[in-house]
């Protein structure tokens, strides 16, 4: 049996992307919810719940970016000029947010400024990520494998909606994570806001679903020609949404977060099924964008050692910091 190394790399990058979305999504979501927390004690709990894991979560972003550069250089050479400003905003937001983790614990007089840095860093990073996803759905103007569009083509009414949609989605992940990790009035607040965030996510989900066929001809044709297969994913996403709502009403602590993860996973799989095997829409497939097989094999040798280490480190970290979090038991 001949192994298609390009498919292996597509799987690795797809896995890295969804791992980043799931693992960094809930801590970015807490930053989005930060200004609405009932008091400063709840903000301490929110930050303490992610302080030990947030930087490890972003490892998956590095893996996805580095893998894209090495395995699919055509995609990287198109995405970088097309999304340069969006990517810059995302990185700037992540940097501001990362700094706030360290300084907020030490600062008393200026703590409110670090609260703002945590919030706005999370908002900017999340919106930029959502807008980049929207730009990917729209497609890129490419001639002779070179991006020929403008610097702000990624920012359109459609990508604004996808950016706001991801903000609502990450906030939902953050709220369900807070249900799992907190107790008392902080947990009560998380229970109260989760259904409203879920309705917001479903509302934006409906708008994007109706809008996408209008901005992407290839997605419209795919949806209509493979309706039996592709529509399995949104149906499963809706099942997760219903289970999430029921779990919150029954005040279960773990299932809301698991169902929120499922909602993201099936939405992500639905987007991949709508685009596959195109990696630079509308024209270039993963095989068109792939580097030489020798290069992909060389990179794969290192990656097969890195991924188990990252998974082991991540699992160990979550195990060590498992359980409920209190305002005064941060690791600093």
> What's the pLDDT score for residue 327?
74
Q: What is the pLDDT of residues 206-264, one digit of tens each?
A: 999 999 989 988 888 888 876 667 889 999 999 999 999 999 999 999 999 999 999 99
Q: Kindly report the average pLDDT of the chain as a whole number.
A: 91
Q: What is the pLDDT of residues 70-100, one digit of tens each?
A: 899 999 899 989 999 999 999 999 998 888 8
Q: What angle do CA 63, 216, 74 make, to 5 degrees?
A: 40
Q: Look up the pTM and report it.
A: 0.94
The answer to whether 276 and 223 have CB atoms below 8 angstroms apart is no
| Encoded tokens for 316 | 């160990």
Query: Which of 265-274, 288-297, 321-330 shows the lowest mean pLDDT across its residues?
Result: 321-330
> What's the pLDDT score for residue 329?
67
| Encoded tokens for 283 | 């024209």
Q: How far apart are CA 167 and CA 164, in angstroms?
A: 5
Q: What is the pLDDT of residues 99-145, one digit of tens each?
A: 888 888 787 788 889 999 999 999 999 999 999 999 999 999 999 88
In the chain, % of residues over pLDDT 90: 67
Task: Please say if the pLDDT value at position 332 is more than 60.
Answer: no
């Amino acid at each position: 049996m001949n192994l298609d190394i390009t498919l292996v790399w597509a799987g690795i990058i797809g896995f890295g992307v969804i791992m980043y979305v799931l693992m960094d999504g809930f801590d970015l979501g807490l930053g989005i919810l930060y200004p609405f927390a009932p008091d400063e004690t709840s903000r301490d709990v929110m930050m303490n719940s992610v302080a030990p894991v947030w930087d490890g979560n972003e490892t998956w972003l590095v893996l996805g970016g580095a893998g894209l550069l090495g395995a699919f250089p055509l995609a990287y050479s198109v995405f970088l000029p097309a999304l340069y400003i969006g990517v810059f905003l995302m990185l700037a937001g992540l940097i501001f947010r990362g700094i706030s983790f360290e300084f907020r614990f030490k600062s008393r007089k200026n703590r409110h400024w670090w609260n703002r840095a945590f919030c706005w860093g999370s908002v900017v990073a999340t919106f930029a990520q959502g807008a980049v996803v929207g730009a990917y759905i729209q497609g890129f103007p490419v001639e002779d494998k070179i991006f020929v569009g403008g610097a702000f083509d990624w920012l359109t009414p459609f990508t604004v909606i996808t950016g706001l949609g991801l903000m609502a989605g990450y906030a939902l992940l953050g709220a369900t994570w807070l249900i799992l990790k907190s107790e008392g009035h902080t947990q009560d607040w998380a229970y109260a806001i989760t259904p409203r965030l879920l309705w917001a996510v479903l509302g934006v989900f409906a708008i994007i679903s109706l809008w996408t066929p209008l901005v992407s001809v290839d997605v419209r044709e795919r949806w209509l020609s493979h309706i039996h297969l592709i529509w399995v994913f949104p149906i499963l996403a809706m099942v997760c949404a219903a289970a999430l709502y029921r779990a919150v009403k029954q005040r279960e602590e773990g299932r809301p977060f698991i169902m929120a993860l499922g909602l993201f996973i099936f939405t992500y799989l639905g987007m991949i099924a709508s685009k596959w095997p195109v990696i630079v829409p509308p024209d270039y497939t993963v095989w068109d964008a792939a580097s030489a097989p020798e290069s992909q094999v060389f990179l794969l040798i290192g990656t097969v050692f890195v991924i188990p280490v990252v998974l082991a480190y991540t699992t160990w970290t979550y195990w060590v910091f498992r359980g409920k979090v209190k305002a005064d038991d941060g690791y600093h």
